[in-house]
């Protein structure tokens, strides 16, 4: 019975996560993740780098500054995310967890962006929500990270000027045990009820069969152009 309640809570939460990003209040508004992603996609059109190493480097001080800020933002976002997951796992208030989740989707994409004056996005090479699709550059970065992991090297946060001259930080998101219930093997890690709901909400879901230690995706954090910067990134 307790288990059933828990699963029901999870399902409600899943539905809320799905809906949360779509519903935007009318009026004053902040960019939605979809708009941000579209902007990114538009920006990337027709432009491509062969490898991250081709992009001109920032000074070490600037690099450190951007990395530190981006890490702090990602940590905050992770904190919100795990806080909400832990709450779910605590089995206490599934409805509250639902609210939490709904707010998080907003907070991560809009409020964090606003507060820090950056564009923050979560993306992957195996997507659940196609709205989170990566740009060419993000794909490259994930490829590099996956190669590193394959060679038993740690994927490290990375900063460069992107193709359009924006300082841009990427931070790896790794798969942990607690992610498997929704991103693991549907035959053994993911409960049937969640499998069914995922099939309904995310047809074509590719974010399954992950294992702990895999790269799940990245945080992609774009900073505003610096004043007086003549960097074009090319």
Phi-psi region of 113 (alpha: psi -120 to 50; beta: other; left: phi over 0): alpha
Give the interface with ligand HEC as residue ranges (CB under 6 A). 10, 14, 17-18, 21, 85, 122-124, 127-129, 132, 173, 175-176, 178-179, 181-183, 207, 216-217
Q: Which is nearer to ligand HEC, 19 or 224 (CB)?
A: 19
Q: Which is nearer to ligand HEC, 21 or 44 (CB)?
A: 21
Phi/psi at 219 (5° precision): -85, 135
* Least Cβ distance, residue 54 to ligand HEC (angstroms): 26
* Least Cβ distance, residue 46 to ligand HEC (angstroms): 25
* Least Cβ distance, residue 225 to ligand HEC (angstroms): 26
What is the radius of gyration, based on Cα positions, of the chain? 18
Q: Which is nearer to ligand HEC, 108 or 118 (CB)?
A: 108
Q: Which is nearer to ligand HEC, 67 or 207 (CB)?
A: 207
Tell me whether residue 150 is exposed, middle or buried, using C-beta atoms within 10 angstroms of its C-beta: 0 to 12, 13 to 18, 19 or more: exposed
Report the C-alpha gap between 39 and 58 in whole angstroms: 24
* Bridge partners for 222 per DSSP: 119, 168
Report the C-alpha gap between 178 and 200 in whole angstroms: 22
Is 87:93 a contact under the CB 8 Å cutoff? yes
Q: Which is nearer to ligand HEC, 106 or 182 (CB)?
A: 182
* Least Cβ distance, residue 230 to ligand HEC (angstroms): 34
* Least Cβ distance, residue 129 to ligand HEC (angstroms): 4
Report the C-alpha gap between 99 and 19 in whole angstroms: 11
* Least Cβ distance, residue 102 to ligand HEC (angstroms): 12
Report the C-alpha gap between 218 and 220 in whole angstroms: 6
Q: Which is nearer to ligand HEC, 162 or 189 (CB)?
A: 189
Which one, of 160, 149, 134, lies nearest residue 219 by Cα? 134
């Amino acid at each position: 019975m307790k288990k059933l309640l828990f699963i029901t809570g999870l399902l409600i939460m899943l539905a809320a996560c799905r809906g949360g990003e779509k519903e935007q209040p009318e009026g004053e508004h902040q960019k939605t993740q979809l708009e941000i992603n579209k902007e990114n996609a538009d920006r990337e059109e027709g432009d491509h780098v062969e490898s991250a190493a081709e992009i001109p480097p920032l000074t070490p001080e600037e690099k450190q500054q951007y990395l530190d800020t981006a890490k702090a933002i990602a940590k905050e976002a992770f904190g919100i995310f795990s806080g909400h997951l832990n709450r779910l796992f605590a089995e206490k208030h599934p409805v509250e967890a639902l609210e939490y989740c709904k707010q998080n989707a907003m907070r991560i994409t809009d409020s964090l962006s606003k507060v820090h004056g950056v564009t923050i996005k979560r993306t992957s090479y195996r997507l659940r929500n196609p709205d989170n699709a990566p740009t060419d550059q993000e794909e490259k970065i994930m490829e590099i990270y996956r190669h590193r992991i394959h060679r038993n090297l740690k994927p490290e946060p990375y900063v460069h000027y992107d193709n359009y001259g924006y300082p841009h930080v990427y931070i790896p998101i790794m798969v942990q045990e607690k992610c498997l219930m929704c991103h693991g093997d549907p035959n053994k890690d993911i409960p049937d009820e969640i499998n069914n709901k995922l099939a309904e909400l995310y047809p074509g879901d590719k974010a399954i069969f992950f294992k702990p230690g895999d790269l799940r995706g990245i945080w992609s954090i774009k900073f505003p152009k610096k004043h007086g910067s003549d960097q074009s990134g090319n």
